[in-house]
Amino acid sequence: MSTKKAFVELVTFLQANKGKKVIDILDTVIDMTDSKKNAITIAYDEKGVAYAIFCYYHKQWELLSDVEYGKKASSKSGFNTMCKIGTNLWTKQQSTSKQQKSKLLDDVANQKVDPKDLLIRLDEIEDERNLISSTNKPKGSANMPQAKK
């Protein structure tokens, strides 16, 4: 199964809370799916200096003073949208996915995998590619942190 980019955060949240009752998480789900919500991914202090970024990989707010981010000249903040740990994990997942897909096609061509199973196996590879690894996951927050004064 492949989740649309717009729903990855929601699916991740639901997977993390699958044992809870709907009534307990409904307000959070509604907030996450609010179409009027501005997608703020960088927090600036009163001087206009970036102090936190919503990591695209980990789906959490991370303080720049605590978590290392790469430089990106083309962004307003001057930083990448993923922390260095997330960027590394994301890059490895993309590479592994490409290798697995290539091997799968070879296996189908060499009759090691039944062509009827191709779509199922491709979905499994895509699910692995979209997993958010907790390996070396930095401390973060679901809510935007306040600037330190």
Number of structural domains in the chain: 1
- State how far the Cα of 105 lies from the Cα of 98, in Å rounded to an integer: 11
pLDDT of residue 37: 52
DSSP calls for the chain: ----GGGHHHHHHHHHTTTS-HHHHHHHHHHHT-TT-----EEE-TTS-EEEEEETTTTEEEETTTS-EEE-TTSSSSEEEEEHHHHHHHHHHHHHHHHHHHHHHHHHHTTSS-GGGHHHHHHHHHHHHH----TTPPP-BSSPPPPP-
> Over the stretch 26-73, which tens digit does the pLDDT of each residue have?
888 887 777 655 568 999 999 999 999 999 999 999 999 999 999 998
- Per-residue pLDDT band for 8 (boundaries 50, 70, 90) equals confident
Within-domain flag for 110: yes
pTM for the full predicted model: 0.68
Question: Band of the pLDDT at 149, cuts 50, 70, 90?
Answer: low
Q: What is the pLDDT of residues 83-124, one digit of tens each?
A: 999 999 999 999 999 999 999 999 999 999 999 999 999 999
111, two tokens: 């009759």
Is 45 a domain residue? yes
Torsional class of 92: left (φ above 0), alpha (ψ -120 to 50), beta (otherwise): alpha
Q: Is residue 147 part of a domain?
A: no
Confidence at 142, pLDDT banded by 50, 70, 90: confident
pLDDT of residue 34: 72
What is residue 130's predicted lDDT score, i.e. its pLDDT? 92
Range from 23-27, 65-69, 126-130 carrying the lowest mean pLDDT: 23-27
Ramachandran assignment for 25, one of left (phi > 0), alpha (psi -120 to 50 degrees), beta (any other)? alpha
State the residue range of the domain holding 115. 38-130
Query: What pLDDT is stored for residue 44 in this prediction?
Result: 92
For residue 57, tell me if it sits in a domain: yes
Does residue 31 belong to any structural domain of this protein? Answer: no
Asked if residue 55 belongs to a domain, the reply is: yes
- 103 in a structural domain: yes
Q: What are phi and psi of 141, to 5 degrees?
A: -145, 145
Asked if residue 102 is part of any domain, the answer here is: yes
